[in-house]
């Protein structure tokens, strides 16, 4: 397989954008990515796009606005991992030599969707969902288990929110740029004990895009291509095969495939962007990505190792907690954040001398199955 590089990234502002359409915000992200790459729209040979709600030929609808037509376009949906799935689709088509250049787009307009002001509704064949097991409920159960097994506290979970909102204050694209204290987070409205409002990611509108090409072609556009050295995407196993709900076999397996492909280990990663829909979730992801031993994740945040400037910054963008979570956009957006750091273009939140970064995204729930999808991408300069 050929080496593949990211040469352009772009995103819209993340926020409540009810005055805009998915096409509007998607176009903003695509225009920014094409400009960043320095390529002509007509150079794009393949496109993958993702949108979970109000879907209808998303790639075609967005790309015609910038003069991209008549090429292969694929639209995918993989819950929160949809954007990462689109990115992987372009990566695979270039890596196997089918095309030389393509674009991945993720977009979601929550304020204009059936989700506006509501919980994500379960499908009729989702028994757990029909019985009331919502996403806050799932992560509240996990939080209680973390507290029981590892001595984690609600203050520890709140500290994740404090960290990510602090990082978000340095990100011009973040929905919320406001500092919070642990007390602010703990005393915010209770959603599902012990998870409070400020431990939950907000519903948000937004889009992100990335231009990828073969490494050989990338050198025509930039002297600093960011290589995609690892890519993995898996679906979950049956829950009865899990021995511990606080450790995800899906996440660990996906990460290990990406590490093996990249020829690196967790100790080589300089920064991480991961799925933090709920504050306590971030600690679980530390462990399944191999950043620490099981049960030791809380120490990383207590010792500020995962803060900007720490040993291994996690979610220096502000993560889903601060940026918000336009579902299909997040998997492209967090890859774009890694690219910024590897280029040295992340401003105040820059990870010093970053050489290798990891982007993780998890998505979807199914009755009796651990999770719908998990993706891990590893990038290097």
Distance CA 263, CA 357 (A): 13
Tell me the β-bridge partners of 255.
none
Distance CA 161, CA 284 (A): 14
**Among the listed residues 270, 308, 297, the one whose alpha carbon sits nearest the alpha carbon of residue 163:** 308
Tell me the β-bridge partners of 377.
231, 359
What crossing angle do the helices spanning 154-168 and 279-288 adopt, rounded to 10°? 90
Residue 49 is encoded by which pair of tokens?
Answer: 């796009």
CA 176 vs. chain centroid, Å, equals 17
Distance CA 321, CA 194 (A): 16
Task: Give the 3-state secondary structure of residue 277.
Answer: coil
Helix (H) or strand (E) holding 309: none
Beta-carbon count within 10 A of 55 CB: 16
Is 80 catalytic? The answer is yes
**Among the listed residues 214, 263, 227, the one whose alpha carbon sits nearest the alpha carbon of residue 1:** 214
Catalytic option among 80, 200, 213, 374: 80
The residue whose two tokens read 């909102």 is 165
**Among the listed residues 79, 339, 57, 325, the one whose alpha carbon sits nearest the alpha carbon of residue 207:** 325
CA 271 vs. chain centroid, Å, equals 13
For the chain, where are the alpha helices, taking DSSP H only? 22-37, 58-63, 82-95, 127-130, 135-150, 154-168, 182-186, 215-218, 249-262, 279-288, 297-302, 319-323, 327-343
Distance CA 17, CA 207 (A): 11
8 A C-beta contact, residue 179 and residue 165: yes
Which residues are known to be catalytic?
80
């Amino acid at each position: 397989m050929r080496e593949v590089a990211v040469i352009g990234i772009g995103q819209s502002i993340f926020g409540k954008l009810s005055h805009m359409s998915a096409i509007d915000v998607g176009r903003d992200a695509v225009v920014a990515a094409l400009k960043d790459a320095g390529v002509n729209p007509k150079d794009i040979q393949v496109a993958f796009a993702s949108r979970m709600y109000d879907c209808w030929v998303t790639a075609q609808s967005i790309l015609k606005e910038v003069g991209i037509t008549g090429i292969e376009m694929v639209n995918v949906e993989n819950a929160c991992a949809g954007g990462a799935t689109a990115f992987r689709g372009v990566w695979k088509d270039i890596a196997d030599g089918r095309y030389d250049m393509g674009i991945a787009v993720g977009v979601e307009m929550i304020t204009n969707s059936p989700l506006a002001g509501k919980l994500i509704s379960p499908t009729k064949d989702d028994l757990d969902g029909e019985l009331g097991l919502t996403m806050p409920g799932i992560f509240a159960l996990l939080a209680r288990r973390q507290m029981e097994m590892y001595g984690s506290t609600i203050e520890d979970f709140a500290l994740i929110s404090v960290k990510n909102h602090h990082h978000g204050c340095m990100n011009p694209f973040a929905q919320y740029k406001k500092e919070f204290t642990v007390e602010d987070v703990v005393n915010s409205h209770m959603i599902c004990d012990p998870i409070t409002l400020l431990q939950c990611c907000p519903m948000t509108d937004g889009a992100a895009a990335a231009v990828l090409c073969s490494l050989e072609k990338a050198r025509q556009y930039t002297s600093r291509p960011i290589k995609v050295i690892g890519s993995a995407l898996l679906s979950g196993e049956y829950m009865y095969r899990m021995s511990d709900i606080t450790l995800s076999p899906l996440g660990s397996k996906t990460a290990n495939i990406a590490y093996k492909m990249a020829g690196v280990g967790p100790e080589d990663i300089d920064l991480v962007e991961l799925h933090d829909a709920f504050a306590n979730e971030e600690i679980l992801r530390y462990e399944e990505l191999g950043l620490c031993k099981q049960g030791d994740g809380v120490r990383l945040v207590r010792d500020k190792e995962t803060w900007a400037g720490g040993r291994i910054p996690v979610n220096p963008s502000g993560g889903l907690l601060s940026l918000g979570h336009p579902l299909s956009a997040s998997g492209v957006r967090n890859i774009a954040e890694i690219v910024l750091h590897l280029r040295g273009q992340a401003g105040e939140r820059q990870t010093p001398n970053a050489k290798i970064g990891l982007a993780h995204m998890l998505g979807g729930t199914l009755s009796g199955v651990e999770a719908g999808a998990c993706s891990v991408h590893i990038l290097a300069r």
